[in-house]
A and B are shown apart, each in its own frame.
Chain A
Amino acid sequence: MAAGELRHNRPMAIYLDHAATTPLGPGVLDAMLPYLTEHWGNPSSIYASARRARQGLDEARERIAATLDAKPREIVFTSGGSESVNLAIKGVAWAASARGRHIITSSIEHKAGMHTCQVLERSGFDVTYLPVDRYGRVDPADVAAAINERTTLVSVMYANNEVGTIQRIAEIGAICRDRKVLFHTDAIQAAAHLPLRVDPLQVDLMSLAAHKVYGPKGIGALFVRQGTAMLPLIQGGSQERQRRAGTENVAGAVGFAVALGQRGDGHEAALRDRLIEGLRALPGIDPTGDPAHRLANSASFVAHGLEGGDLVAALDLEGIEASTGSACTSGSSEPSHVLLAMRIDPQLAHGSLRLSLGRGTTADEVERTIAVIGTLSQRLRPGMASVQV
């Protein structure tokens, strides 16, 4: 089946789904390899080879803490972004449940946050889901108004994974601090593009995932400000200061630290603007998200009269890799809760398309993508009429 293998590994694919995951950045794999081949000891053990592994882990934690301007002890390694978000929300909600059982979040969180809150609701917590404007932004005044004496946690994402809208995190953080409520932000999508220093952002907890910042999959981190009460999700050994049991993913942590320390040149922003301009000019395609406050690499659209999934499959067969919005919701018949929260018509929301650029994206790739989408959207629309007589 050589032909098929070739197609799977086509060399010329244009990858425009960096919001789903990113390739490894330069030097990341090289930094990781020694911890898979040589320094494979268990970092909790006593002897020399284990100490060497422990050193890699400690240094990785220090580097990540430095990027966040936090203390190393405030960094908890996890298996990835979803675990970080689960740990932050459940861990704090449980730890503070004697004091209050009210949580505030937004209506445009990633499913990791949204479903975690829904599970807590089923076990007796009250959750307020804050509305957003048509660009997907939360009004900090709504946060202030929603806080009551039983509120223990506010969780609002830094930048949205589907439409790239950036929230006023520092403003929300200041409100939370003033009202003595803990504040978590899901910075997973934002981390490759926005400042991460935790003090100016006024956050108490911040979730990160390595593979969204040109690091490996299977490793994430949660910043937990010193003094924050949080119960663990995973019980067992005393790793991660008893906040996350399990033998550490040392190579992953090392790769994560290297990747998070690298910054792109920001060239995506101009390409993104060209992409939005080019697709907006096509009939029946409208941009979604905030025109000003959006991630540098993120362009999102709705195409009238199309199924987003069909368009993405068609793009794939043309060698362009894109998404309807979130890799985690593909195959679902429900339109995106993010688009619905932005009050986009449900029928229209079925035609969602997300193009997220990366450090390697070129102007030629953007031009080709605009041209291909122009052709495909013409071909796809008549396909929605019946062949039945």
Chain B
Amino acid sequence: MTRVVAAMSGGVDSSVAAALLAREVRDSGVDVVGVWMRTHADRGEGFEHKRSCCSPDAADDARRVAQILGIPFFVLNVEREFGERVIDAFADEYLAGATPNPCQACNQYIKFDELLRRGLAAYGADAVATGHYARVEQRDGRFALLRAADANKDQTYFLWVLNQAQLARTRFPLGEMTKPAVRGLAEKLGLPTAQKPESQEICFVPLGDYRSLLQERRGYAGEPGPILDASGTRVGTHSGYAHYTVGQRHGLGVALGEAVYVREVRPERNELVIGKRDEVASSTFVVDGRRFVAGEAPAERFEASVRIRHRAPDVPCEVTLVGADRFAVETAEAVWAPAPGQAAVLYRSEECLGGGRIARA
């Protein structure tokens, strides 16, 4: 018998993913176990945070869905691992002048590592299923990660970190579905999450206030420093370099007659460098921490397309491997603000090849 652990966040996507698996119970003897992960503590009495997907009260929604589907339901505590691998890493990226990528870290270290490993062991499962919009297919004896059928919802940008061992044990039941179809099915099945709004904010940063998180987790209060233009002239004052990310436009308080953006964050000197729109774009950048879904790169030098933020368009590029864990990217046209810390994810048509972390422009 096959047993699948359905990761249930309490949102509509993972609810429907679990429902589709539970439907297979009747068809093919697949056995489903619903699991909700406690990633961070709730804030005690009197606090409500309804808006974030993995907030503790989302556990109630996940539990109700599991009851309706008639599947066992467990809470898996991953607070320790999530705290170190996702929340602390998030704060540390800001302190390094980079833009954190918490959803990717959660996939890499929590959903497809901690949950997968403990799920397989504890529940005797063979695979983990999530509500991600992506597809896995066996091609030439290996597992290929493919974009979702719904291009609007494709989440491979956060999944390129998965390796062959992980993909072999991963299922994405929503890969062929569109979001409206998912909501429609949730409605039809009477799931209480059917009309739940899309979560926009980072689950552990209520109201998007990451500055207080930097203070709480790392004692970073922010110290004012100079904002410099491309020529090195001081044009303003910022509240602390870690409060800014590359590409940011708002909150600079600089009036130069046209829109300006953060072009570089310099932690060691507590400086921000700003630039005009065309100064922030770049057609070359270097990536470190490279990984390929197949286990190895297609070639030392190859053509692909690259995406440098979620939902940004792909841009054709040439990739050249550098050293043991880096690659250089040269794009056919300039891309908007490659931000250190964000992923550069490589594609060939519908297949996600892998990627890395943008190191510098």
Binding site for B on A (CB under 8 A): 1-5, 7-8, 307, 309-311, 313-314, 316-317, 330-333, 379-389
Contacts and interface: CB of A to CB of B under 8 A. Distances in A.
Nearest to A316: B72
Nearest to A389: B163
Contact of A384 (B22, B116, B117): B117
Contact of B166 (A2, A8, A309, A387): A387
Given A331-B75, A388-B108, A389-B165, A380 B121 contact: yes
A307 B69 contact: no
A383 B121 contact: yes
Contact of A5 (B70, B116, B121): B70
Nearest to B35: A313
Nearest to B70: A4
A387 B117 contact: yes
A313 B118 CA distance: 11
- Listed from nearest, the 6 A-B pairs whose CB atoms lie closest are A4-B70, A383-B121, A1-B70, A310-B122, A333-B79, A313-B74
B124 A3 contact: no
17 contacts: A3-B70, A4-B25, A4-B71, A310-B118, A310-B121, A313-B76, A314-B121, A314-B124, A333-B38, A333-B77, A333-B80, A379-B124, A383-B118, A384-B118, A385-B117, A387-B116, A388-B163
Contacts of B181: none
A208 B165 CA distance: 53
Interface in B97-138: 108-109, 112-113, 116-118, 120-124
B41 interface: yes
B139 interface: no
- Name the residue in A332, A386, A388 with the highest tally of chain B Cβ atoms < 10 Å from its Cβ: A388
Contacts of A331: 38, 75, 77
B26 interface: yes
B77 A332 contact: yes
Nearest to A8: B70
A389 B291 CA distance: 10
Nearest to A388: B113
A221 to B, nearest CB: 27
B10 to A, nearest CB: 14
B8 to A, nearest CB: 14
A385 B121 CA distance: 10
Contacts of A389: 163, 165
B129 to A, nearest CB: 16
Given A310-B121, A333-B80, A3 B26 contact: yes
Contact of A330 (B75, B80, B116): B75
B122 A313 contact: yes
A316 B124 CA distance: 11
A317 B72 contact: yes
Contacts of A311: 122
Nearest to B83: A333
B33 interface: yes
B39 to A, nearest CB: 10
Given A316-B72, A333-B79, A379-B124, A4 B108 contact: no
Interface in B18-54: 22, 25-26, 33, 38, 41
Given A307-B118, A384-B118, A389-B163, 18 more contacts: A3-B70, A4-B25, A7-B72, A307-B122, A309-B76, A309-B77, A316-B72, A317-B123, A317-B124, A331-B38, A379-B121, A380-B122, A383-B120, A385-B117, A387-B113, A387-B116, A387-B166, A388-B108
Nearest to B108: A388
Contacts of B121: 310, 314, 379-384
Given A387-B165, A388-B108, A1 B69 contact: yes
Given A313-B123, A387-B165, A1 B113 contact: no
A333 B77 CA distance: 6
Contacts of A381: 121
A316 B80 CA distance: 24
B123 A314 contact: yes
Contact of A4 (B22, B113, B120, B124): B22
Contacts of B33: 317
Contacts of A317: 33, 72, 123-124
A386 B110 CA distance: 11
A140 to B, nearest CB: 36
Contacts of B117: 383-387
A345 to B, nearest CB: 16
A102 B289 CA distance: 59
B117 to A, nearest CB: 5
Contacts of B122: 307, 310-311, 313-314, 380, 383
A322 to B, nearest CB: 13
A381 B33 CA distance: 20
B260 to A, nearest CB: 40
A130 B47 CA distance: 33
B29 to A, nearest CB: 9
A313 B76 CA distance: 9
A317 B119 CA distance: 12
B345 to A, nearest CB: 18
A296 to B, nearest CB: 30
A2 B79 CA distance: 34
- Name the residue in B26, B68, B122, B166 with the highest tally of chain A Cβ atoms < 10 Å from its Cβ: B122
A2 B69 CA distance: 9
